[in-house]
C-alpha cells in the first residue's frame, strides 16, 4: 500500500498543478529552448506575454531580426486553439558580433523573446489551453548549425486575471522594459559622398554618453554592416555616417531608414525620413540659437572660445603622452640654457599652429565638397590609426633606450618628433595636434561649429587661435626664466626620467590599438600586433647597428634590416587586402561530382549557406583571393557549391555522412579516386592552394 501511495505521489508531483502554466522544452545540442509565461493563467479576452527562452551554449550565438552580414533570425510558428492570437516577437537590443571582415547582430548566453498572447472572449474558465509552437533558429560558432524545437505551453484559463508567475514574471517584465521603444526622437538621413548621414535628435539624447552609439538597421541591405559608424556629437543629438549598402546603389535611396539606436545601456527605435541634418545634430553643423549663443558668435568671440578650448585641450589624456616626450628635452635645458629652450618653445608653437591650419584646410575642403566628416576625422581611417599606433610604439621604444635617433637611423615620423633641437620640437607640436584633435575640449564645439559655416579666411583664423591656445602653455614655460630656473639641472636622473616617460607612449599605442579593434575588427588587430612585433625587432636591430658603429664596426646590414622591417610593418597595416573576383562555381549534386571525377578532374566542394558566418569569412579571406583563383585555373579544378541556405535534404545527408551537423564543410577530391579530403573549418589561401596541388598530383 505504501508503494502504491508513493507511485501516486510521484505522478501527482510530475503533473502541472491547477492554475499553473507548464512548458515542454525541446532538446537541442547548442540551444535549449522553452516557452514561458509571465502569469500563471489567462482570463477570457485578456492579453499577457509569453516568451521563447533560449539558453545558448557558451561560445555560440543566435541572431537578431536583422542578422547583419550573415546568419538567420529566430522564427516561430504557432499552433494555437481556435480564437487564440499571438503577436510578433519583441526583440531585445542585440549586440555586435564581429567575425573577421563581417559584422553580425545577435545574442549570447540567455535571451527572452516575448510575444503578446490574447485569449478569445469565449474561452471557458477551468479549461487548459495547450499552446504549441515550432521554433527554428540558427546557432553559430566556427560552424553554423540550424536547430529546431517543438515546444508547448499549458496555460490554465481563469475567471479573473491570474497572479504573476513568480519564476518568470520579473524576467519577462525586465526584457519588455529594456526593449527598444520610440522615445520621440526625430531622425533624417541624407546620402553624401562620404556615406549616409543619419541625424538623430531629441531630449533622450541630450546629455547622454554618445561615445559608443550604434545604429542597428531593421533591413539588412541599407548599410555596410562591417564598416565603422563615425559619430559627430551635437548639443541635441548626433549624426552617424553610415557606409551605404545595396539599398543606396545606382542612385537609389530607400523611402525610409528604420532601426534601433543603442546608446550605452539604452536602446531606442528610430524611423528616419529623407532630409538634411537639422541644427544641433552634430558639433559641425550650425548650432541651435540657444546653444550658448553659438549661432550669433562673431569672429572675435569665436577666436576667443577657440583659444580657451586649445588651452583646455592640453589637459586631455590623449595629449599628455606627446607633451611628456618633450618635457624631458626642456628639463635638459635647466640651469640657464634659456636661448635653446626658447627656440624649442617657438618651434613647438609653430608646428602646432601649422598642423591645426593644415587639418582645418582639409576639413573645410571636405565640407565644401559635401562630405559628412567630423573633427578628428584622421582617426576614423583604420590605416591611419594603425600607423599612429606603430609611431607611438616606436617613440616609446626610443624613450626606453632600445635605439637612439640622430645617428644611423633617421626615422621620418618618429625620428623627427623624438630628436632634439628645434626641428624635433616642431614635429612634436605637429604630432601632438594629430593625436589631440579627436579630443574636443569645452568651448571648442561652438567655435568650430561657427567657423565651418563662415568664409575660409574666418574659419582659418579660428583654427589658428585654437593652435595658439594649444601651444601657449609649452611656449610660456620655455620663455619664463623663473619657471626654467626651477627645473633641475641635467644629471643621471634624466635617463631614468626619460625611460619613465616611455610608459605613457606605450599606453597611447595600446589605446590606438583598441580604437582600431573597434573600427576594423580582430583581423586588422592581428595584423597590427604582427606589425608591432616587426617594429620592435627593427628598433632592436637599429640599436645594435648604432652600438656597432660606435665601436668602429660596419652596421650596414643591421641598419638595412631595421629599415626593411619597419617598411614591411607599415605596409602590412596600410596595404589593402589582395582580392580576386568571385570564383566561378556550379551547383552541387552527387551526380555532378561523380561525372567530374570520372573525367579525372580535381573537384572542390564547398558546403555553405548564406547565413553561415564562417562560410562568408572563408569566402572573403581565403577563397576570393588571387592565389586560390590562380591555383584553381592552373589545376583545372571544378568548383561546386552545395548551398544549404534552404536546408536541402540531399546536402544534409552528405553532411551527416561526413560526421557533420552543420556548415561549413570543404571537400577536395583528387584525380585518382578515393575519399575526399576534409579541409579545416577555418581556411587560409595557403591551405586551399596546397590541398588543390596535392589533389592534382595524386593523379600524375
* Cα 379 to Cα 385: distance, rounded to the nearest angstrom: 6
Contact 631, 89 (CB under 8 A): no
Of residues 390 and 153, which shows the higher confidence score?
153
Q: What is the pTM of this model?
A: 0.55
Provide the 3-class DSSP secondary structure of residue 502.
helix
pLDDT: is 186 or 495 the higher one? 186
pLDDT-based confidence at residue 689 (cuts at 50, 70, 90)? very high
> How high does pLDDT run on average in the chain?
79
pLDDT at 561: 86
Determine how β-strand 266-274 pairs with β-strand 181-182: parallel
Q: How far apart are CA 260 and CA 560, in angstroms?
A: 53
Name the percent of the chain lying above pLDDT 70: 75
Residue 293 confidence class, pLDDT cut points 50, 70, 90: very low
Residue (of 105, 16, 113) closest to 55 by Cα position? 113
Contact 444, 316 (CB under 8 A): no
The predicted structure's pLDDT at residue 379 = 53
Query: What is the arithmetic mean of pLDDT over 478-489?
Result: 61
How far apart CA 283 and CA 238 sit, in angstroms, is 8
d(CA 107, CA 178): 15
The distance from CA 271 to its chain's CA centroid, rounded to whole angstroms, is 23
Q: CA 515 to CA 509: how far, in whole Å?
A: 10
pLDDT value for 436:
59
Q: State which of 93-107, 151-165, 199-213, 513-527 shows the largest mean pLDDT.
A: 151-165
pLDDT at 260: 97
Pick from 464-468, 474-478, 578-582: least confident: 578-582
Q: Which residue has the higher pLDDT, 450 or 592?
A: 592
Tell me: the pLDDT tens digits for 159-187?
A: 999 999 999 999 999 999 999 999 999 99
Task: Answer whether 182-274 and 586-697 agree in fold.
Answer: no
Q: How confident is the model at residue 6 (pLDDT cuts 50, 70, 90)?
A: very low
At residue 200, φ and ψ (nearest 5 deg) are -130, 125
Strands (E), 334-398: none
Q: How confident is the model at residue 627 (pLDDT cuts 50, 70, 90)?
A: confident
What are the extents of the domains in the chain?
A: 14-176, 182-274, 294-574, 586-697
Q: Which fold has domain 586-697?
A: Glutaredoxin (3.40.30)
CA atoms of 450 and 26, how far apart (whole Å): 61
Q: What is the DSSP string of 155-212?
A: EEB-SSPPPBPTTTHHHHHHHHHHS-EE-S-EEEEEEETTEEEEEEESGGGTT---TT
Fold observed for domain 182-274? Immunoglobulin-like (2.60.40)
- pLDDT, tens digit, 9 for 90 and up, residues 20-58: 444 444 445 799 999 999 999 999 999 999 999 999 999
CATH architecture of 14-176: Sandwich (2.60)
Distance set, CA 32 to CA 52, 152, 444, 637 (Å): 10, 14, 53, 42
- Give the model's pLDDT for residue 313: 66
With CA atoms as reference, report the closest residue to 218 among 96, 91, 77: 91
Give whichever of 13-17, 102-106, 549-553 has the largest mean pLDDT. 102-106
Please give the average per-residue pLDDT across 395-406, as a whole number: 75
Q: Residue 319: pLDDT above 50?
A: yes
Cβ–Cβ contacts within 10 Å for residue 506, how many?
17
Amino acid at each position: 500500500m505504501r508503494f502504491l501511495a508513493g507511485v501516486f505521489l510521484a505522478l501527482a508531483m510530475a503533473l502541472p498543478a491547477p492554475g499553473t502554466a507548464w512548458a515542454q522544452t525541446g532538446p537541442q545540442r547548442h540551444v535549449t529552448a522553452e516557452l514561458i509565461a509571465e502569469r500563471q493563467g489567462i482570463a477570457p479576452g485578456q492579453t499577457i506575454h509569453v516568451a521563447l527562452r533560449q539558453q545558448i551554449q557558451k561560445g555560440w550565438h543566435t541572431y537578431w531580426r536583422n542578422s547583419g552580414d550573415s546568419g538567420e533570425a529566430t522564427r516561430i510558428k504557432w499552433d494555437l486553439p481556435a480564437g487564440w492570437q499571438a503577436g510578433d516577437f519583441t526583440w531585445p537590443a542585440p549586440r555586435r558580433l564581429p567575425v573577421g571582415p563581417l559584422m553580425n547582430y545577435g545574442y549570447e548566453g540567455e535571451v527572452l523573446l516575448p510575444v503578446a498572447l490574447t485569449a478569445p472572449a469565449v474561452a471557458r474558465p477551468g479549461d487548459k489551453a495547450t499552446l504549441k509552437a515550432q521554433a527554428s533558429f540558427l546557432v553559430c560558432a566556427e560552424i553554423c548549425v540550424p536547430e529546431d524545437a517543438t515546444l508547448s505551453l499549458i496555460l490554465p484559463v481563469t475567471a479573473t486575471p491570474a497572479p504573476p508567475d513568480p519564476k518568470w514574471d520579473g524576467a519577462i517584465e525586465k526584457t519588455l522594459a529594456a526593449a527598444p521603444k520610440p522615445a520621440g526622437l526625430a531622425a533624417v538621413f541624407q546620402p553624401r559622398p562620404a556615406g549616409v548621414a543619419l541625424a538623430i535628435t531629441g531630449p533622450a539624447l541630450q546629455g547622454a554618453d554618445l561615445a559608443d552609439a550604434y545604429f542597428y538597421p531593421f533591413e539588412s541591405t541599407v548599410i555596410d554592416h562591417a564598416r565603422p559608424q563615425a559619430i559627430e556629437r551635437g548639443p541635441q543629438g548626433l549624426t552617424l555616417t553610415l557606409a551605404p549598402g545595396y539599398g543606396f546603389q545606382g542612385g537609389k535611396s530607400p523611402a525610409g531608414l528604420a532601426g534601433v539606436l543603442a546608446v550605452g545601456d539604452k536602446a531606442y527605435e528610430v524611423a528616419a525620413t529623407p532630409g538634411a541634418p537639422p541644427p544641433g545634430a552634430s558639433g559641425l553643423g550650425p548650432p541651435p540659437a540657444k546653444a550658448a549663443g553659438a549661432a550669433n558668435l562673431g569672429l572675435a568671440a569665436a577666436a576667443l572660445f577657440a583659444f580657451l578650448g586649445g588651452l583646455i585641450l592640453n589637459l586631455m589624456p590623449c595629449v599628455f603622452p606627446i607633451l611628456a616626450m618633450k618635457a624631458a628635452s626642456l628639463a635638459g635645458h635647466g640651469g640657464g640654457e634659456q636661448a635653446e629652450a626658447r627656440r624649442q618653445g617657438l618651434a613647438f608653437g609653430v608646428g602646432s599652429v601649422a598642423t591645426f591650419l593644415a587639418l582645418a584646410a582639409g576639413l573645410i575642403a571636405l565640407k565644401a565638397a559635401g562630405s559628412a566628416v567630423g573633427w578628428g576625422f584622421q582617426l576614423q581611417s583604420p590605416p591611419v590609426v594603425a600607423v599612429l599606433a606603430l609611431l607611438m610604439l616606436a617613440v616609446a621604444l626610443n624613450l626606453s633606450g632600445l635605439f637612439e635617433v640622430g645617428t644611423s637611423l633617421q626615422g621620418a615620423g618618429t625620428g623627427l618628433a623624438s630628436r632634439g633641437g628645434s626641428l624635433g620640437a616642431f614635429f612634436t607640436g605637429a604630432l601632438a595636434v594629430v593625436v589631440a584633435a579627436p579630443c574636443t575640449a569645452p568651448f571648442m564645439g561652438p567655435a568650430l561649429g561657427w567657423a565651418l559655416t563662415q568664409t575660409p579666411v574666418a574659419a582659418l583664423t579660428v583654427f589658428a587661435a585654437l593652435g595658439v591656445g594649444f601651444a601657449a602653455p609649452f611656449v610660456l614655460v620655455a620663455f619664463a626664466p623663473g619657471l626654467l630656473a626651477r627645473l633641475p639641472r641635467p644629471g643621471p636622473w634624466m635617463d631614468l626620467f626619460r625611460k619613465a616617460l616611455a610608459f605613457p607612449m606605450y599606453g597611447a599605442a595600446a589605446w590606438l590599438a583598441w580604437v582600431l579593434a573597434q573600427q576594423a575588427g580582430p583581423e586588422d588587430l592581428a595584423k597590427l600586433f604582427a606589425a608591432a612585433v616587426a617594429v620592435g625587432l627593427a628598433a632592436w636591430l637599429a640599436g645594435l647597428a648604432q652600438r656597432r658603429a660606435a665601436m668602429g664596426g660596419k652596421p650596414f646590414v643591421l641598419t638595412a634590416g631595421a629599415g626593411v622591417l619597419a617598411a614591411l610593418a607599415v605596409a602590412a597595416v596600410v596595404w589593402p587586402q589582395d582580392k580576386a573576383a568571385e570564383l566561378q562555381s556550379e551547383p552541387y549534386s552527387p551526380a555532378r561530382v561523380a561525372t567530374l571525377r570520372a573525367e579525372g578532374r580535381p573537384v572542390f566542394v564547398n558546403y555553405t549557406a548564406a547565413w553561415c558566418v564562417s562560410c562568408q569569412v572563408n569566402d572573403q579571406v581565403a577563397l576570393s583571393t588571387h592565389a586560390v583563383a590562380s591555383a584553381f585555373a592552373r589545376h583545372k579544378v571544378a568548383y561546386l557549391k552545395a548551398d544549404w541556405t534552404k536546408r536541402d535534404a540531399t546536402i544534409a545527408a552528405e553532411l551527416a555522412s561526413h560526421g557533420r551537423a552543420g556548415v561549413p564543410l570543404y571537400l577536395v577530391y583528387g584525380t585518382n579516386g578515393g575519399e575526399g579530403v576534409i579541409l579545416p573549418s577555418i581556411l587560409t589561401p595557403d591551405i586551399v592552394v596546397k590541398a588543390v596541388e596535392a589533389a592534382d598530383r595524386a593523379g600524375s
